[in-house]
Amino acid sequence: MQSVRIFCARCQKEDTRAVIAEINKVCIEFGVKRGVVQLASIAEDLIEMRKTQNIGQEERELAKQIGLRILTMVGDNHYCDSCRKKIQKEDRRDALRKKFKVIIGKKD
């Protein structure tokens, strides 16, 4: 199996562990107890069409829902926590600049 590494789009820092932790949170939310390991096993069985009769409808639906959730997480550029905070701060600042006009006045 080939290893996948995920890097921040802004600072190029490797952030694979944070993404795996986020995927594990999603798995726990959907009741997959062993997280990425169990999800990978289900996905492998579905891809190779092995044991498809043994995989219940609930597991198939679960794998589909988790897959969709993960795709929406990873679909955009990935930013590490520090870069994400910087980008949010810049976005807020730009939004405030657009909302309010700065008037420079001269004192008499």
pLDDT digits (tens, 9 = 90+) for 83-93: 889 999 999 98
- Per residue in 44-80, pLDDT (tens digit) is 776 676 655 666 676 677 777 777 777 766 667 778 8
* pLDDT for 1: 39
Residues β-bridged to residue 7:
14
Q: pTM (2 decimals)?
A: 0.57
Mean pLDDT of the chain: 76
Please, what is the angle between helix 16-29 and helix 57-74, to 10°? 140
Domain-wise residue ranges, the chain:
16-80
* Residue 30 CB contacts under 8 Å (≥ 6 apart), including other chains: 62, 65, 66
